[in-house]
């Protein structure tokens, strides 16, 4: 039986390096009420790796979630640098749509083309976020034309070309659907995600199938496999088989199950 989780949305955020992708995630987290009002937050809260903090770029994909109007929005922040493109390809298998973030002045760049190509090949329908509209040299209308041309160049379907557009200033923490709109929050972006992204679905009666896309480590738990259940159900003490890239099966047991809640 196909089961649909109407209260969940799974999205990845993809972009060329320094187009404001991680800053956008920061703004979404800050406005989702997952932090205490008196809690001091550093910039780029998703970039927890020491090398990421040193270089100021995202290297490893990060998972988080926010709550909005009864919906849980699972977000994957992906690397924007071309050297880490493999990370992007893996996480696209976990989500049902992507937010393509584009600098409103620079427009489409080489990594924009790479990540969009991978998203389209995965059959995903992207949303486009034109970021940094607060800057004086912003040229959003021209950039939208560039992005549409890029969709056509990459062989996007008619359905994929009908992408919604959100204008944003991640730095100042606001997003709008029309440049003439006035707001001081990310609410229009949250609502567009809920309205546009398809709810995840799967066969809950079939045997368990979970695609592992990321590995994490915790000092108390040890290794943690992160992925998306595409079929069946999972529970503690369940006997499973882990299949490697060679098709070899290793028997194991599920010791614990976790879901993302905010940054935890």
135 and 239 housed in the same domain: no
Average pLDDT over residues 160-174: 96
Same domain, 107 and 49: yes
Query: Does residue 232 share a domain with residue 190?
Result: no
- CA–CA dist 11, 63 (Å, integer): 10
Per-residue pLDDT band at 230 (split at 50, 70, 90): confident
* 47 pLDDT above the threshold of 50: no
**What is the Cα 257 distance to its own chain's centre?**
21
Residue 262 belongs to a domain: no
Mean pLDDT throughout 29-54?
55
In angstroms, the CA 60 to CA 92 distance is 14
> 163, 184, 201 — which closes off a domain?
201
Structural domains in the chain (count): 2
The CATH number covering residue 105 comes to 3.40.50.300
State the average pLDDT over residues 19-34.
86
In this prediction, residue 51 has a pLDDT band, given cuts at 50, 70 and 90, of very low
Task: Evaluate whether residue 22 is within a structural domain.
Answer: yes
Residue 242 lies in a domain: yes
Predicted confidence band of residue 95 (pLDDT cuts 50, 70, 90): very high
Within a domain: residue 259? no
* Residue 247 shares a structural domain with residue 137: no
Q: Which residue from 238, 200, 167, 252 is spatially nearest to 94, judged by alpha carbons?
A: 200
Global pTM value = 0.84
- Do 122 and 76 share a structural domain? yes
Instruction: For residues 23 and 115, state if they share a domain.
Output: yes
Q: 206 and 82, same structural domain?
A: no
Residues 197 and 214 in one domain: no
pLDDT in tens, 52-87: 344 444 434 568 889 999 999 999 887 655 555 566
**Average pLDDT over the chain, rounded to whole?**
85
- Structure-token match 């800053």, residue found: 23
Q: 110-121 vs 140-153: helix axis angle to the nearest 10?
A: 50
One domain, residues 116 and 186? yes
Domain match, 78 and 181 both = yes
Domain that holds residue 73: 3-201
Residues 106 and 212 in one domain: no
Give dist(CA 264, CA 256) in Å, integer.
Answer: 15
**DSSP calls for the chain:** -EEE-TTEEEEEEEESTTSSHHHHHHHHHHTTT-S-TT----SSTT--SHHHHHHTS--S-EEEEEEETTEEEEEEE---SGGGHHHHHHHGGG-SEEEEEEETTT-S-HHHHHHHHHHHHTT---EEEEE-TTSTT--HHHHHHHHHHHHHHTT--HHHHS--EEEEETTTTEEESSTT---SSSHHHHHHHHHHSPPPEEESSSPPEEEEEEEEEETTTEEEEEEEEEES---TT-EEEEE-TTS-EEEEE--------BT-
Residue 241 lies in a domain: yes
pLDDT score at 218: 82
| Beta-carbon-side half-sphere exposure of residue 187 (alpha carbons within 13 Å) | 6
Q: Residue 88: inside a domain, yes or no?
A: yes
Same domain, 196 and 249: no
């Amino acid at each position: 039986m196909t089961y649909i989780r109407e209260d969940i949305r799974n999205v990845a955020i993809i972009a060329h390096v320094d187009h404001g992708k991680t800053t956008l995630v920061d703004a979404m987290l800050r406005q989702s009420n997952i932090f205490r009002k008196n809690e001091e937050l550093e910039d780029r809260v998703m970039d927890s790796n020491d090398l990421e903090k040193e270089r100021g770029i995202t290297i490893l994909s990060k998972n988080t979630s926010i709550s909005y109007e009864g919906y849980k929005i699972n977000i994957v922040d992906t690397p924007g640098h071309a050297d880490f493109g493999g990370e992007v390809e893996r996480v696209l298998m976990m989500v049902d749509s992507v937010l393509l973030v584009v600098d409103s002045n620079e427009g489409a760049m080489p990594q924009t083309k790479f990540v969009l190509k991978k998203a389209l090949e995965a059959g995903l329908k992207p949303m486009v976020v034109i970021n940094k509209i607060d800057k004086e040299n912003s040229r959003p209308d021209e950039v939208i034309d560039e992005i549409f041309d890029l969709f056509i160049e990459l062989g996007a379907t008619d359905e994929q070309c009908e992408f919604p557009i959100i204008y944003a200033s991640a730095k100042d923490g606001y997003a709008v659907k029309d440049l003439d709109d006035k707001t001081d929050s990310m609410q229009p972006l949250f609502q567009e995600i809920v309205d546009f992204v398809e709810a995840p679905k799967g066969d809950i009666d079939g045997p368990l199938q979970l695609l592992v896309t990321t590995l994490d480590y915790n000092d108390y738990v040890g290794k943690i496999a992160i992925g998306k259940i595409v079929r069946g159900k999972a529970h503690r003490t369940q006997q499973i088989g882990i299949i490697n890239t060679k098709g070899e099966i290793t028997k194991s047991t599920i010791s614990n199950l976790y879901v993302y809640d905010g940054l935890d």
